[in-house]
Amino acid sequence: MAVNLKEQFDSIARDYDRQRRQLIPCFDDYYGLALETLPYPENAPIRVLDIGCGTGLFSALILTRYPNAELTLIDLSDQMLGMARQRFAGHANIRYILGDYTRHDWQGDNFDLVISALSIHHLPAQNKAALYKTVYTLLPPGGIFINTDQALSPSPAIETMHSNLWRQSVEQSGLPPDQIAKAYERVLCDNPSTMEEQLQWLREAGFPHADCIYKYYHFTVFYARK
């Protein structure tokens, strides 16, 4: 699974950002609401961990809002991480980690904010639950975890409806057919869980405040505060 996933995202690294708005029809609200929830002063040197950072798209949005942020980016794909390095060339206070964030030794690390975008849904259920516990330990009281991801509907019929609506949107987006086919192929690497399951795992991890603050088809924003 991990090898196939890495290969899929290595191959799309250079085109990843360009396709985001075509593959995420709710792009502005999806990321915009996540940013709106953050309470930090604009000049705060917040410590941010981006797990499954990809090309650094979510981190770039954070950095635009908080230019003094200290970023740690981790991803399994060296090609995606390479694109992040290009994106942030010349920026200080950025650390890159090539590796599996579910196995990385985080001893000694702590962050004010942990973010993730469209990564955790690739994990099996037990790995998601374990990751949420790890994230909890990395945050101080008041620390925030935002996961912009995907979630299954508990109803197979509604899930099929969401999938069909998303595919209709993608096929009307202007993406070339070969790129659409590759996007559908990447879906085979997905292993999403329901919204209810993930909120339960966040609470079991210790987060007293956890909610789904946005949902559009299967695109879901989870917010948790320690």
Range of the domain at 124: 2-225
CA–CA dist 124, 143 (Å, integer):
25
CA–CA dist 166, 129 (Å, integer):
27
pLDDT in tens, the chain (226 residues): 344 767 767 666 677 888 889 999 999 999 999 999 999 999 999 999 999 999 999 999 999 999 999 999 999 999 999 999 999 998 989 999 999 999 999 999 999 999 999 999 999 999 999 999 999 999 999 999 999 999 999 999 999 999 999 999 999 999 999 999 988 988 888 999 999 999 999 999 999 999 999 999 999 999 999 9
What length is written for the chain?
226
> Which pLDDT score, from 0 to 100, does residue 55 have?
94
CATH of the domain at 217: 3.40.50.150
Q: How many domains does the chain have?
A: 1
119-136 burial, b for 16+ CB within 10 Å, e for fewer? bbbbbeeeebbebbeebb
pTM for this prediction: 0.93
- 78-87 and 2-12 helices, crossing angle to 10°: 40
Pinpoint the alpha helices (H) of 37-176: 57-65, 78-87, 125-138, 156-171
